[in-house]
Every structure is written in C-alpha cells, then in structure tokens.
Amino acid sequence: MTTNVQAVRRHLEEAYRLLDGSDELSEKTRQALDILIDGLLAAEYRTKCTGAKIINFPLRRGEDERVRQTSSPAGN
C-alpha cells in the first residue's frame, strides 16, 4: 500500500495554518511543519516525474541544407 503524499501534505498545511499563535511553541512547530511540507512536495513531484520521449520530426526538402549552414561556425 502506498502513501497518499498529497493528502498528507494537505493535512500538514492545514495544521500549519491552524498554528497562528506568536508563542515559541507555535513558531517552532510551524518551522518543523515547513520542513516536512517541503520534503513532501519534493517527494510528490519526484514520483510524478516521468521520462520524456524525444520525437524527431522529418526535415522538409531543402531544410537539411539550411540546418547545415546555420550550424557551421561563421566564416567557414
């Protein structure tokens, strides 16, 4: 069974929002929650990332020559 990282992050963000006091405990708890939320965000988007497939499009007639001209250094 996998963890629903997005749901956990939402709950931590709600806890962060509810800690609106200016006392030391609230401030330190918000700092700790901030670190946890950042870690969960990184994990959430790391798991969503998939490899990209590069598609080569065919060149049009005459385009091959222009590509060679623009990719060669100036003056050569």
**Per-residue pLDDT reduced to its tens digit, 9-68:** 999 999 999 999 999 999 999 999 999 999 988 887 776 656 778 888 887 776 655 555
- 4: containing domain: 1-50
| Residue 28 domain-assigned (yes or no) | yes
pLDDT of 71 over the 60 cut: no
Domain assignment present for 63: no
Confirm whether 65 is domain-assigned.
Answer: no
- Tally the domains of the chain: 1
User: In this predicted model, which residue has the larger pLDDT, 68 or 6?
Assistant: 6
15 — phi, psi (to 5°)?
-60, -40
32 is a domain residue: yes
Residue 29: per-residue pLDDT? 97
pTM for the model stands at 0.57
Q: Does residue 20 sit in helix, strand or coil? A: coil
- Exposure on the CB side of residue 66, measured as CA atoms within 13 A: 5
Mean pLDDT along residues 67-75: 55
